[in-house]
Structure 1
Amino acid sequence: MNVCPVCERSDRTTKLSAYWRTLPAERRAGAPHLARPALDDERWTAPLGLLTLGCALLLSEAWLGFVGVAGGGFWLVSLRDKVAEAAKRRADWHRKRFCRRCHHVFLP
């Protein structure tokens, strides 16, 4: 069992995800800090479209193609990093424990 760092007891600790599932809807609304981090709804079509447009302009030998490729590539890399960060937050949430005695959330 995992020992709570605040009350130093292990008899009342549980997984935060299991505790969250047992909460009724009105208690969930009152405890948004315990909620699972939301997946950001990232739109991949716009940066992919910009990248494709840049490639098409490069093929037609237009200098704006470089701007389109660079902008679309930078946008895609920034989206990839945001998605990776959201996945890390969700993985940490699934690892967290909750102490039912002192209501402390902690990582084991």
Structure 2
Amino acid sequence: MGGTRMHVCPLCKRSDGTTRLSAYWRTLSPEGRAGVPHLARPALHDERWTAPLGLLTVGCALLVADTWLGFVGLAGGGFWLVSLRDRVAQAAKERADWHRKLICRPCHHAFLP
């Protein structure tokens, strides 16, 4: 027997039509993909790290110059970096989950095994 394990769809309780969502997505035509956008792979977000790092650098320079704006720059840059980090981590988790998902061909329900 091969390494394929049958998974039961939690919606219709069938196991004869489950397959990897990524494989199913590759078989769809562009028109078919347009009809099921909720099944699409989550997009990669092009996060720009230079602006918050620049704000941190300016904040450090202003802090060294003994200006109160240095604290504002450090706080703003730090907050911006943390929010970017969290967004990147969330996007990576969503993409990893998408690659693990299965789809039931009879009822078109996507689920994690």
Does TM, normalized by the shorter one, top 0.5?
yes
1:43 aligns with 2:65: no
How far did 1:7 drift? Answer: 2.1
Residue 96 of structure 1: which of 90, 95, 101 is its match? 101
List aligned pairs for 1:21-100, cutoff 5 A: 21-100=26-105
Deviation sequence 1:53-87 (CA, Å, 0-9, x none): 00111122222111101110011001101111111
Runs of 4+ in 1 over 3 A off after TM superposition: none
RMSD: 1.0
SS in 2 for 1:98: strand
**TM-score, normalization by structure 1:** 0.94
Look up the match of 1:107: 112
- C-alpha distance in 1 between matches for 2:80 and 2:69: 16
User: Which letter does structure 1 place at the counterpart of 2:8?
Assistant: V
Q: TM-score, normalised by structure 2?
A: 0.90
Per-residue deviation, 1:36: 0.4
Tell me, in whole angstroms, the C-alpha distance in 1 between the residues paired with 2:33 and 2:55.
41
Residues paired across the two proteins, number: 108
Partner of 1:16: 21
One-letter amino acid of the counterpart of residue 22, structure 1: T
Q: Which runs of 5+ in 2 are unaligned?
A: 1-5
Q: Secondary structure at the match of 2:19?
A: strand
Structure 1 regions of 5+ residues with no counterpart?
none
